[in-house]
């Protein structure tokens, strides 16, 4: 069945569909796993080294509910970190895990250390929004 080209109720853009799918996957992920992932991502950011989703997976393991959860968590968390000015996108690399079929991964790097006095930098909120 073809989608209507200009239906006023739906946004068929790639970004909207990506966000909808990520939100759906994240709503079923256990909070304990999302919190572990958040803490591991924060650790990766503080190192100042390049990192990608495979580095996060190495620290927290596979998501317990759905393999797509890793991408959704990684995307949503890094969007917040980029907006807060704590990380930057530095490039792309191919995934090395065979099950990833050499997909392209975005690579990030921490560029600013968070202020220790600020336990929640602006734009960073977990887990209520994740």
Residues 60-119: tens digit of each pLDDT: 999 888 888 888 888 888 888 888 889 999 999 998 888 778 888 899 999 876 666 655
Q: Is residue 7 part of a domain?
A: no
Distance CA 65, CA 113 (A): 32
Strands across the sheet containing 87-94: 50-51, 104-110, 87-94
CA distances in angstroms from 16 to 10, 32, 106, 124, listed in the order given: 9, 27, 19, 21
**Which pTM was predicted?**
0.73
Structural domain span for residue 19: 14-110
Q: Is residue 31 part of a domain?
A: yes
SS3 5: coil
Q: What is the pLDDT of residue 2?
A: 53
Q: Is residue 38 part of a domain?
A: yes
For the chain, how many structural domains are there in total? Answer: 1
Is the torsion defined by CA of 59, 109, 85, 21 positive or negative? negative
Q: Is residue 127 part of a domain?
A: no
Query: 89 pairs with which residues across the strands?
Result: 108
Q: Is residue 117 part of a domain?
A: no
- For residue 59, pLDDT beyond 90: yes
The half-sphere exposure of 122 on its side-chain side, counting CA atoms within 13 A, is 3
Residue 61 sits in a domain whose CATH number is 1.10.10
Q: Count CB-CB contacts under 10 A for residue 85.
A: 13
Q: Is residue 4 part of a domain?
A: no
Residue 108 burial (10 A CB sphere; 0-12, 13-18, 19+):
buried
Q: Is residue 9 part of a domain?
A: no
């Amino acid at each position: 069945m073809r989608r209507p080209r200009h239906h006023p109720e739906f946004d068929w853009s790639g970004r909207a569909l990506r966000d909808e799918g990520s939100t759906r996957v994240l709503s079923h992920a256990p909070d304990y796993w999302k919190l572990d992932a958040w803490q591991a991502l924060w650790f990766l950011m503080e190192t100042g080294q390049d990192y990608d989703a495979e580095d996060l997976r190495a620290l927290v393991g596979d998501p317990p509910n759905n393999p797509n959860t890793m991408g959704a968590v990684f995307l949503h968390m890094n969007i917040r970190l980029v907006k807060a000015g704590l990380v930057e996108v530095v490039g792309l690399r191919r995934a090395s895990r065979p099950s990833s079929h050499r997909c392209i991964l975005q690579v990030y790097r921490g560029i600013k250390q968070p202020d220790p006095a600020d336990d929640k930098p602006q734009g960073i909120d977990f887990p209520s929004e994740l």
